[in-house]
Amino acid sequence: MQNVGIVGCGLMGAGIAEVSARAGLDVVVAESSQGAADAGRSRLEKSLTRAEAKGKIDSAAAVLERIRVVTDLGELADRDIVIEAIVEDEEAKTGLFRSLDQIVTRPEAILASNTSSIPIMKLGVVTSRPENVIGVHFFNPVPVLQLVELVPSLLTADDTTARARAFVEGQLGKQAIDCQDRAGFVVNALLIPFVLSAIRMLESGFATAEDIDRGLVLGAAHPQGPLALADLIGLDTTKAVAESLYEEFKEPLYAAPPLLARMVDAGLLGRKTGRGFYTYA
């Protein structure tokens, strides 16, 4: 696959675009407005400039030449694979997949979702080609973390999964794991209850955010604490994944704590808004 389409140029979409372009692929990223497209382009420029300064790529400008950021979904018509990386909202994603089904002309094209929790079956069945729909879940920051979860639904063709694996591992140089089409897949099904437990501990006054995180970093060799990690993921995304997990399994450990819900309501979403459990410059 040489022609990659991405919908959404936020943190995840921009990261997927960057690794695809760094692999020499032709990339078109669709955004919902010119303002969002400009912000996405700026995000890409900053990331690639940092990568060049660190010697990870030879030329940021050369990589950027392989990326177009547009506002018309129709520009994705000729893509070999289109990866959805929009807000973690089931209605928004199903609406987008209905549109992509009409827009993407190649009958063999893969329609992939970067969702972290929404069942792939729900996205596939709104299209006329559920056999071509698969979850391809990257992790933030995409240029740094090597893991990708491959999530076929019951209707995904074996050939689609094989081609998605070849794209992820053979072309992008990532490492893939196979996941069943269950909310949260592998990583978030394990990670989110852990993060929610840390939020409940803070909410109850059991310990401060700093001490909770230091405890896991210094006592369990975690690279960062669960509350700092929630800020990196985004508290809105953390809440959305928790709600998806709870809807599917009805386990209390998946329920979003009131503190998390209030912080999301207040717009305190973590690093991307400058304030979450910690404050960022």
Domain 188-273 listed as CATH 3.60.40.10 = no
Supply the pTM of this predicted model: 0.90
The domain limits of the chain are 3-178, 188-273
CA end-to-end span of the chain, whole Å?
40
* Rg, Å, the chain Cα set: 19
Is residue 149 annotated as a catalytic residue, yes or no? yes
The one catalytic residue among 47, 149, 153, 243: 149
Beta-carbon contacts of residue 248 (< 8 Å; ≥ 6 apart): 119, 182, 183, 184
Confidence band for 128, pLDDT divided at 50, 70 and 90: very high
pLDDT greater than 90 at residue 140: no
The one catalytic residue among 113, 117, 132, 188: 188
Helix pair 235-249, 226-233: axis angle to 10 deg:
100
- Scan for tokens 């994603």, then name that residue: 93
Beta-carbon contacts of residue 101 (< 8 Å; ≥ 6 apart): 111, 126, 127, 128, 129
Phi, then psi, of 53 in degrees rounded to 5: -65, -30
Task: Return the amino acid letter for 186.
Answer: V
Is residue 188 annotated as a catalytic residue, yes or no? yes
The one catalytic residue among 20, 113, 114, 116: 116
pLDDT tens-digit series, residues 225-238: 999 999 999 999 99
pLDDT of residue 117: 83
Is residue 116 annotated as a catalytic residue, yes or no? yes
Beta-carbon contacts of residue 179 (< 8 Å; ≥ 6 apart): 135, 137, 149, 150, 151, 185, 186
- Computed over every residue of the chain, the mean pLDDT equals 96
Share above pLDDT 90 across residues of the chain, in percent, rounded to a whole number: 95
Q: What is the CATH number of domain 3-178?
A: 3.40.50.720
Residue 118 CA: distances (Å) to CA of 32, 59, 74, 92, 115? 21, 37, 25, 11, 6
Range 99-128 average pLDDT:
96
The one catalytic residue among 137, 153, 243, 244: 137
pLDDT greater than 90 at residue 259: yes
Cα 165 from chain centre: 17
